Amino acid sequence: MHQKTLPFALLLAACAPSDKPAPLDFSQFEMVDLSHSYGNDTLYWPTETEGFHKRTLIEGDLPDGRFISAFAFSTPEHAGTHMDAPYQFNRNGAKADAVPLERLIAPAVVIDIREKAKAETDYALTVDDIAAHEAEHGEIAPGSIILLRTGWSARWADGAAAYFGGDDPADLHFPSFGADAARFLIEERGAAALGVDAASTDIGPATDFPVHRLLGAANIPGFENLGDLGPLPATGAYLIALPMKIEGGSGGPLRVVALVPR
């Protein structure tokens, strides 16, 4: 049986007459920000040398004494908390500005592999791990965003070497999804998207990026470098993951908020 995915307040809103919808009661939710800020300390994939740049256009007082500020910035698409659009690994996949909202705003399922990742840095989620999760929390409902909790977000502040497990792109080390598990979540559970609190939806040593290619082929986005997933329950939260709408982009910076029922 699929787990319930709509709190009562949202069911009321969905069932209300269209001319007078029931308001969403956000007091019933804790809002959890799952995005790292962009700035001088933003972590970039070891092959990326451009980095994040912010310059001041104006900042200070006008002649009449009123304050004003405006800045310009530049960044590669795939850095910090960001979305990989299907187009990144599929020439016919959806580009960043065309990913359906249904894949960006959906119920969240959190699979916790922290203990296994502690024991094995390059641990890859397995189908058995998914079965164990479902035995405890119920079968994953179609249309869910699957979030993998590895515990790696705690390393973000420690710098690139701790987070990526090295600075050689051919020799990186961190946990994530395994290809068989990703295929199962895509084909058998109808995942809307996959996300992880580590650097990639593939494990560090996977230089051929099999999970990225599976996601691209299925036209499904991936969310990388998420913040601490600890405040989220295994099921029951909602995820709002809205990327910068870059025309023709292969991804983009992502602001992710979870709504966790109180």
The pLDDT value given to residue 5: 46
Instruction: Assess if residue 58 is contained within a domain.
Output: no
CATH number at residue 238: 3.50.30.50
CA atoms within 13 A on the CB side of 112: 12
Helices (H), 150-225: 160-164, 179-187, 210-217
pLDDT in tens, the chain (262 residues): 444 444 444 544 544 445 667 777 889 999 999 999 999 999 999 998 899 999 999 999 999 999 999 999 999 999 999 999 999 999 999 999 999 999 999 999 999 999 999 999 999 999 999 999 999 999 999 999 999 999 999 999 999 999 999 889 899 999 999 999 999 999 999 999 999 999 999 999 999 999 999 999 999 999 999 999 999 999 999 999 999 999 999 999 999 999 999 9
- Dihedral over Cα of 126, 128, 134, 139: its sign: positive
CB 131 within 8 A of CB 188: no
Taking Cα atoms as reference points, which of 213, 208, 212, 214 lies closest to residue 187? 214
Q: Is residue 57 part of a domain?
A: no
Q: What is the pLDDT of residue 139?
A: 98
Let me know if residue 250 belongs to a domain.
yes
Q: How many domains does the chain have?
A: 1
Taking only the tens place, the pLDDT of each residue in 203-220 is 999 999 999 999 999 999
d(CA 143, CA 153): 25
Among the listed residues 109, 67, 81, 39, the one whose alpha carbon sits nearest the alpha carbon of residue 251: 81
The C-alpha R_g of the chain, in whole angstroms, comes to 19
Is residue 51 in some structural domain? no
Domain that holds residue 96: 8-44+77-261
Does residue 105 form part of some domain?
Answer: yes
Is residue 164 helix, strand or coil?
Answer: helix
pLDDT of residue 18: 54
Specify the pLDDT at position 19. Answer: 64
How many Cα atoms are found within 13 Å in the side-chain-facing hemisphere of 148? Answer: 35
- The confidence score (pLDDT) of residue 23 equals 76
185 falls within a domain: yes
Please check whether residue 154 lies inside any domain of the structure: yes
The 10s digit of each residue's pLDDT in 123-159 is: 999 999 999 999 999 999 999 999 999 999 999 999 9
Q: Tell me whether residue 86 is in a domain.
A: yes
